[in-house]
Structures are given as structure tokens and as C-alpha cells.
Amino acid sequence: MSRAGPEEDPRDPYDRALRALAEPRRRAILQLVAHDELAAGEIAAAFDVSRTAVSQHLTVLKEAGLLTERRDGTRRFYAARPEGLAGVREMLDDLWSSALDRARRIAEADRGVAPHHREAG
């Protein structure tokens, strides 16, 4: 028995981006390259892990659409790809908006219910 849903589809861009962002080093890499393009070696130098591990993180981020890669000879340069986060940002904005709407409805309902409690008490 399988359950269908975007959260289970590895091809889903939200799922790939969120999974990539779940790892702290990947978030740190994105912060490093948020405003400047950096060579893979410069990125690796910022971490106390092997270059292979950093390379794997870069691959995950790139496959999730969160990084661009540019080759110059044997060097690889990486930069954040803001549009890769656009879908995730939109999804989170929708969730936040829904949560705010729920909170507003609860607050309005509480204001409407509170006078009845006072009268009954």
C-alpha cells in the first residue's frame, strides 16, 4: 500500500529543497555563497570536514536547485540560486498566512465567547 503525496516524491522541488536545507552544513554553505560566488575549495576551507563531504553537500544543494555551478577550467564556482528558494518561500508564506488566519479566527471567537462566560459565571 502506498500513499501518494508530494512529501514522498523525490522529484518534488519543495521536498528536495527542504531535505537539502535540513542539514546544518548545507544551510551554512548557502549562507557563504548567498552574496558571493565562491570556489569549491574556498567553501571547503570553511568547514572541518573532508573536501569529499563538502562536495557531496554541494551536489545535494545543486540538485535541489539551490545553487548554481560554474566551471572555469578545473575549478568549480558556486553561488546561491535565490529562485530555488522561491517555491519554498511561497509554501512557507502560505502556511504562515493560514496560521495567522486561524489565530485571528480564534481570537475573534474568544472575544465573542468571553462575554457569555462572564454573564454565566
Higher pLDDT, 27 or 106: 27
Per-residue pLDDT of 57-91, as tens digits, reads 999 999 999 999 999 999 999 999 988 888 788 87
9 pLDDT band, cuts 50/70/90, is low
Between CA 110 and CA 65 the distance in angstroms is 44
pLDDT at residue 118, rounded to an integer: 47
- Tell me whether residue 92 is in a domain: yes
Note down the domain range covering 13. 7-120
- Tell me whether residue 77 is in a domain: yes
- Tell me whether residue 111 is in a domain: yes
Per-residue pLDDT of 35-44, as tens digits, reads 999 999 999 9
Question: The whole model's pTM is what?
Answer: 0.69
Counting residues of the chain whose pLDDT is more than 70, the rounded percentage is: 83
- Tell me whether residue 1 is in a domain: no
Contacts of 68 (CB under 8 A, 6+ apart): 62, 78, 79, 80, 81
CATH number, residue 51: 1.10.10.10
| Of 46, 48, 50, 49, nearest in space to 28 by CA | 46
| 22 touches 33 (CB < 8 A) | no
- Tell me whether residue 73 is in a domain: yes
Domain count of the chain?
1
